Each structure stands twice: as structure tokens, then as C-alpha cells.
């Protein structure tokens, strides 16, 4: 493994992503952070949600592994189930809500990174507190 000019390690990472995501009980877990993108897994409990937000300057791609939910993007609502993928362009208001009886499990790619490298937030409340305290800032080049 060698580090590139910004200090990011240049090596292959391999995940059996659906399995890794399904096994994580955490609301949010950063699996990998690169110079331009970040891979995060999330588990939204029944009745829970990610929370309405806008990422300025950050595109987001979400792929759903299990559960049933509702995507709310730019005022539009659409059901999401296992195998669905939703793209949220930078600057777009969005939220994802678990509408089913089981956890809504997904993985998401941010470009550029949105969260602190290796961050783990067991609950939405923990994630919100870390963000409010400035403890969930993405790495800078």
C-alpha cells in the first residue's frame, strides 16, 4: 500500500456489501473514505428516518439492501425496497423513512466525503449530536 499526494492510502478494498450492511446494527458506519468519495452503511429502525437534509456540493447515491421505505427527494415521494437505487444530486432536499416492520438497510456513496473517516454512530440521536458538536466533519485534503 502506498499513500498518494494527499495522504490517502492507495489500495484495493473489497466488501461483500449487502452482507456487511445487513450485519451492522448501527445507524451510520463509515466503511471507507477516499479522496473523492466515501462509502457508508446505514440501518434505519422501523418508524425511523435519516432526517430531512441538504448536502451542498455533495452528490449521494443510495442502494437499498433490505426493508421497505419511502424516498422523499425534491418534493417527490417514492417507495424503496431491496435492490433499489436512488440518486440525490448535490443541493437537493431529501429524507428516507422506514415504512416497514423491519430495519431499512442501505449503503450510500457520497462524493466528496460527508462524514468523519471511520465514524460510527449507533443511533440517529448520536449522529445528530456528533454533527452538532462538529465531531463528524469529513477529512480535508
CATH code at 74? 2.60.120.10
User: For residue 82, what are the domain limits?
Assistant: 17-133
Q: Could you tell me if residue 10 is inside a domain?
A: no
User: Tell me: the pLDDT tens digits for 78-123?
Assistant: 999 999 999 999 999 999 999 999 999 999 999 999 999 999 999 9
Please choose, from the candidates 42, 28, 31, 60, the residue with its C-alpha nearest in 3D space to the C-alpha of residue 129. Answer: 28
Q: Could you tell me if residue 11 is inside a domain?
A: no
How many independent structural domains does the chain possess? 1
Provide the terminal-to-terminal Cα distance of the chain, rounded to the nearest Å: 19
- This prediction's pTM: 0.90
User: Hey, is 37 helix, strand or coil?
Assistant: coil
Amino acid at each position: 500500500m502506498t499513500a498518494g499526494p494527499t495522504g490517502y492510502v492507495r489500495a484495493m478494498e473489497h466488501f461483500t456489501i449487502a452482507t456487511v450492511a445487513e450485519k451492522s446494527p448501527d445507524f451510520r458506519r463509515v466503511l471507507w473514505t477516499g479522496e473523492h468519495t466515501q462509502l457508508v452503511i446505514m440501518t434505519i429502525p422501523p418508524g425511523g428516518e435519516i432526517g430531512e437534509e441538504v448536502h451542498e456540493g455533495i452528490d449521494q447515491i443510495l442502494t437499498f439492501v433490505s426493508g421497505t421505505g419511502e424516498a422523499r427527494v425534491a418534493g417527490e415521494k417514492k417507495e424503496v425496497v431491496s435492490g433499489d437505487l436512488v440518486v440525490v444530486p448535490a443541493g437537493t432536499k431529501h429524507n428516507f423513512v422506514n415504512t416497514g416492520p423491519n430495519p431499512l438497510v442501505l449503503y450510500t456513496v457520497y462524493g466528496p466525503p460527508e462524514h468523519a473517516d471511520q465514524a460510527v454512530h449507533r443511533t440517529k440521536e448520536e449522529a445528530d449530536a456528533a454533527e452538532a458538536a462538529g465531531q463528524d466533519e469529513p477529512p480535508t485534503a
